[in-house]
Amino acid sequence: MPLRFDHIAERAFDDPKAVGLSPQEAIELMSAFRRCGYFRVDLETGLCYGTPDLFDIFGIEEPTGTINLKQVGERIHPDDLPMVLQSFERTSLHGGVFHSIYRVKWHTGKDYGYVRTCGRFRPTADGSGEIVGTTYEFFEHLRTAAFLTPGD
């Protein structure tokens, strides 16, 4: 069962510099315990760019240019794909921040696991905007167990 959360107000930035960490160190710490990929979707062109961990999470080969969104869509559980697409559509139209929890086919090609995508609208100089965000493996089974039905 996919979950989507839309936020009208963004949270205040918890600045790692307040405790002596650089932004780079904070990202390295977050990435140390789970794969965490980053992406950017240019709303003017429709092109999507990502980091190597993003391709790893979706089990697709890293492209030389932009992401093949058809391949990404094929890795998302068919029952979850409409919600994921709706999250991106709503954010591109209305701005704001979202996060979605959904199933992705693991590298084995047999089982699905949960990932979380957090994204936000960011205006660009030309006025069209883009969606930037992160996707990471979601291991918090205890929190999601209440939402699962037998066989998920």
CB 111 within 8 A of CB 105: yes
Alpha helices in 22-80 (DSSP H): 23-33, 52-58, 69-75
Q: What is the pLDDT of residues 12-33, one digit of tens each?
A: 767 888 888 898 898 888 777 7
pLDDT tier at 115, thresholds 50, 70, 90: very high
Name the CATH topology of 20-147. Answer: Beta-Lactamase (3.30.450)
Distance CA 78, CA 152 (A): 13
Q: What is the pLDDT of residues 33-72, one digit of tens each?
A: 778 899 999 999 989 999 998 998 898 888 888 888 888 9
pLDDT tier at 142, thresholds 50, 70, 90: very low
